[in-house]
Amino acid sequence: MTKDNRKDFRSYRWKLPADAFAFAERPDPGPTDLVKEDVWSSTVSLPDHVAVWTSDHHGSELKAMNDVWGDWVLSSGDEQDPMQYVMLDSADELKAFIWNSLCGFYRVAATCLRNVLELNTIGAYFQISKKLAKFEKWKQENYEIKYGNACDYLFKHPSTKSLEDHIKSRMNYSVFGEKTSWARELFQKLSSFTHSSATHTSAKLWEGSTGPIYIQNSFGKAYALYLDTMCLSHVLLKLARPRLALPKVTNLLRGKKHPAFQSCSV
């Protein structure tokens, strides 16, 4: 560690106190099977290296993603409805996305966004359809609703008609439609990372290198996917909870100029 690095807050690690958690064992039992130093170094040295590089050059993007995540958690609210259930789960995926993109695991990060989009779409489906009994079965893995079927339902539902008509008049496009639509194209794009298609492998995102490694362009692609996913997620949230006032952080998403988001967030 150089002298200059000793002044860098990123150079230190510490455990949070027990009172930082809602549930925690007290007192801290201390290490019971301490990891070997060489195993620790092998596991964290490259991700740490990438994290420092990334945070050297993308502090604004990291702040934006963290702000969107924080307001998403707050927007989940106290009412135990289908949207709250999926929003809390998807918030964990968002945090995992930020961490993995920070450390250079861009493909893994994108798979988190696929989970976010699927969860929020299914949550909106259950909320709008009011199929609460089936929602309870879904939580117990006793009922299946596929992403495409949820989009079919949302596309045909009366509550989305004004939004779909607005998009069609502006750009001959759709949010949930069967052919060319925002929701289906984004899900397909994110699925390419999940299934490691030839153009979406980790090696491709690391430009042929072994990793993790910091690649500016790949971080930028991951960041754009994050904004797109959260833009659509807020559309879903507004459709599911029409009276909800969207958080101020969505001004960042409005900057994407997506007419679906602008129409749904007024």
Question: Position of tokens 């909320």?
Answer: 127
Are the C-beta atoms of 32 and 214 separated by less than 8 Å? no
Alpha carbons 165 and 260: distance in angstroms, whole number: 10
Whether 233 shows a pLDDT value over 70: the answer reads yes
Alpha carbons 113 and 89: distance in angstroms, whole number: 12
Alpha carbons 137 and 144: distance in angstroms, whole number: 9
pLDDT at 179: 74
Q: At what angle do helices 182-194 and 147-156 cross, to 10 degrees?
A: 170
Are the C-beta atoms of 124 and 239 separated by less than 8 Å? yes
pLDDT at 60: 92
**How much of the chain exceeds pLDDT 70, in percent?**
91
Cα dist from 183 to 122, 131, 177, 180, 205, whole Å: 12, 22, 8, 9, 24
pLDDT one-digit tens code per residue, 149-186: 999 999 999 999 999 998 888 888 899 998 789 999 99
Alpha carbons 234 and 123: distance in angstroms, whole number: 12
Alpha carbons 242 and 128: distance in angstroms, whole number: 10
Alpha carbons 80 and 230: distance in angstroms, whole number: 21
DSSP letter at 2?
-
DSSP letter at 6?
G
Secondary-structure breakdown of the chain: helix, strand, coil percentages, each rounded to the nearest 5: 65, 0, 35
Whether 98 shows a pLDDT value over 70: the answer reads yes
- Residue 229's closest CA among 253, 251, 263, 247? 253
pLDDT at 37: 95
Listed by start position, the domains of the chain span 44-264
Which runs of consecutive H residues, i.e. helices, occur in 209-249?
216-240
pLDDT one-digit tens code per residue, 245-258: 887 777 777 665 44
Give the HSE-up count for residue 142: Cα atoms under 13 Å, Cβ half-sphere. Answer: 6
pLDDT at 260: 45
How many C-beta atoms lie closer than 10 Å to residue 87's C-beta? 24
